[in-house]
Amino acid sequence: MRSVKTTKFALLDTTIYIENFRSGRFTFRLVQSPFVIRCSSVVLHELLRGARTTTERKFVLDLSRRCQVLTPTEQQWLKAAEILSRLRQREHYEATKLRELAFDVLIALSAWSIGASVITINHVDFLAIQRELPFHLLCWE
């Protein structure tokens, strides 16, 4: 009997792109990764919003053309609001913190919707989200 190999998908959080762009710290790890990388439109937004140079802007626009992009659905936006509300109650987060977490929740929901892992160096926030949403999380150092 032949075994069927399933493809593992991953979404990289904005922090991974930024750190790797600046230092190349994760290049080898990404090349050796068993994952097929998908990109979140939320991450593209964050990257483009923060792009300061022509090179950074070009990188983001090239990434958007070369990678299969996942965009949160209306239902995911609504689910994100529910998760943020629960986080506010459980963690006693202020409105500013909830705004900071909103995009991370959308990234997690996008990954969850296709059974993908989220890869991040933002351990604290994604672990808090994971307590509300059971998604696969890889925290890189």
Question: In order of start, what are the domains of the chain with their CATH numbers?
Answer: 9-139 (3.40.50.1010)
**Per-residue pLDDT at 54:** 97
**Per-residue pLDDT at 7:** 63
**Per-residue pLDDT at 3:** 46
Q: Are 118 and 107 in contact (CB under 8 A)?
A: yes
Q: Which residues of the chain have pLDDT under 70?
A: 1-7
CA 18 to chain centre: 12
Q: Are 61 and 35 in contact (CB under 8 A)?
A: no
Q: How far is it, in rounded angstroms, from Cα 79 to Cα 81?
A: 5
**Per-residue pLDDT at 6:** 59
